[in-house]
């Protein structure tokens, strides 16, 4: 198991999209896939299985958060 002290420097970013959305428009973005999914469900009041998670670049993450 990798040590988290010091920080290993891994950066992952995720967006949550509605399943079947051909444009894959982001409902939410986060650094945690679980948090992105939970926020999307909370915002839309749809069950979590209505969404899919996509890993995105840091640049896209920053653009979508703005």
Q: How confident is the model at residue 38 (pLDDT cuts 50, 70, 90)?
A: very high
CA distance 38 to 7: 25
Determine the straight-line distance between the first and last CA of the chain, rounded to whole angstroms: 34
Q: Are 33 and 14 in contact (CB under 8 A)?
A: yes
Mean pLDDT, residues 28-43 taken together: 94
Residue with tokens 């891994």: 10
Mean pLDDT of 8-30: 89
In this structure, what token pair is assigned to residue 13? 């970013």
> Region 37-56: what's the mean pLDDT?
95
Asked whether the predicted pLDDT for residue 8 surpasses 90, the reply is no
């Amino acid at each position: 198991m990798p040590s988290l002290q010091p920080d290993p420097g891994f950066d992952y970013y995720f967006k949550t999209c509605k399943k079947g959305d051909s444009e894959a428009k982001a409902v939410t973005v986060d650094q945690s896939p679980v948090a992105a999914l939970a926020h999307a469900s909370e915002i839309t009041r749809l069950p979590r299985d209505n969404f899919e998670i996509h890993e995105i670049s840091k640049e896209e993450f920053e653009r979508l958060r703005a």
